[in-house]
Structure 1
Amino acid sequence: MQGRAKATRRSLLEAASRLFEERGYAGTSISDISALSGRTSGAIYFHYAGKEKLALAVMEELFATWPALIARHRGTDLPALERLVALSFSVARAFRDDVVVRGGSRLWAERKSVDASLPSPFGGWIETVVGLLEEARDEGALAPAVIPRKAGNAVVYAFFGLHTVSDALDGRKHIEESLHDLWHLLLPALQADPRPTPLLDRVQARLDGADAPPVSVAPAAGTSNAPPSGPEFSPV
């Protein structure tokens, strides 16, 4: 029974995420979620008590995605700059491929429509990037003129600015190619020994192999519906 309830909640969460991404919060109704998920309106109210609570659950699921992903990349023994670049590609893939991440991102952009207290934006990401740049400095891999705090801010601004433009242009379809170009611009300024291409090649090879962090993708519309606490992160 508990497994069935968990499956129902996940089905509702993914269906709502897809609709929130496509139509926004105001443009999505309980009946829409019911129709896409194949669950009754009663089931939605039973598990989530309405659209607002369901939207909040989507955003909470999104916020919970990042600490585990960060911990996975920071827990390796790779050089810090490689971990930073690899993390950025894993996040980009989540934004592109994970329906809950995409739905939560749009909800956060429309957060004034949802009456709920949400985490402060971007602070956790900045601290994560600054921490990795400080590790790179301690490893001797950071250019002497680079100040981790200032560079960390700039990297986060550039990364999420890239996502905003990529989403507007093609729904992040080519986000990895664009991110690759961004790192080719940023790494020569960050590296003590500027060689961006070998670093990017190593990261790409690892991410395309068995070590790539998984993402969960909801079933397409019309098909069957078969983390730890940490810093506050923005979903955009």
Structure 2
Amino acid sequence: MQDRAEETRRAVLQAAAHLFFERGYAATSINDISERSGRTSGAIYFHYTNKEQLALAVVEAHFAAWPALVAHHEAALEPTLRKLVRLSFAVARAFRDDVLVRAGARLWAERRSIAVEMPPPFVDWIATVERMLTQARVEGDLAPHAEPSRDAPTLVAAFFGLHTLSDALDDRVLIEDRLADLWLLLLPGLQSCPAPRALLAEVGAAPRARRAAPTP
């Protein structure tokens, strides 16, 4: 019985995530979610009190995706600055490919139209980046002028600003290329011995060759 209930919760959550991402909160109804999930409205209300609580569950699933991913990358046996860059590409792919992540991001952007308190964004990411930059300093890989507590919010802002741009311009299809370009810009200011292209190659994220501009 418990397995069946959990299966229903997952099916409803996935259906809601798809619809919230595709249509937005206001344009999605419980009946829509019932039709998409193959579960009755009664079953949905049994697990989620109302549409607001279902939206909150999607946002919470979005936030819950990150701790294990961060822990996995921090446990890797490689320099921490490389871990940070590798982690950024894993997060970028999740924002591109994982519907729960994408739906959670859209719902948080629409939070003012949803009568429920959402978890605060960015705070944990800033703490994670600051911690990893601090460790990179211990390892001797961080430039002397870099300051983890100052630079972590800037890196997080640049990363998520890039996502906003890529979402608007290409539906995140080019997010990995755009992220590689961002690191080419940022790494010379972070590495004690700047070698951004080498680091990107080490994480398997070397920028694709750009076509040369046509000659007159």
Q: Which runs of 5+ in 2 are unaligned?
A: 206-216
Q: Distance in 1 between matches of 2:135 and 2:70?
A: 15
Q: CA deviation at 1:48?
A: 1.1
Identity percentage over the alignment?
Answer: 61
Q: Distance in 2 between matches of 1:155 and 1:179?
A: 12
In the TM superposition, what are the counterparts of 1:216-235 in structure 2 within 5 Å? Answer: none
Structure 1 vs Structure 2 CA RMSD: 1.2
The answer for the alignment partner of 1:129 in structure 2 is: 129
TM-score, structure 2 length as denominator? 0.91
Q: Provide, for residues 11-69 of structure 1, a one-character-per-residue CA deviation record: whole Å limited to 9, x for no partner.
A: 11011011111111111001111111111111111111221111111011111111111
Q: Distance in 1 between matches of 2:84 and 2:197?
A: 15
TM-score, structure 1 length as denominator? 0.84
In the TM superposition, what are the counterparts of 1:185-204 in structure 2 within 5 Å? Answer: 185-204=185-204
SS in 1 for 2:121: coil
Rg (Cα) greater in structure? 2
Q: Distance in 1 between matches of 2:102 and 2:121?
A: 16
Retained in 1: the 8 A contact 2:60–2:119? no
Retained in 1: the 8 A contact 2:95–2:102? yes
The answer for the alignment partner of 1:218 in structure 2 is: none
Q: Distance in 2 between matches of 1:129 and 1:64?
A: 17
Q: CA deviation at 1:118?
A: 2.2
Matched letter for residue 133 of structure 1: L
Q: CA deviation at 1:3?
A: 1.6
Q: Distance in 2 between matches of 1:201 and 1:12?
A: 40
The answer for the alignment partner of 1:164 in structure 2 is: 164
**Further displaced range: 191-200 or 156-165:** 191-200
**Further displaced range: 113-122 or 162-171:** 113-122
Q: Which runs of 5+ in 1 are unaligned?
A: 206-236
Structure with bigger RCO (C-alpha 8 Å, 6+ apart): 1
The answer for the alignment partner of 2:39 in structure 1 is: 39
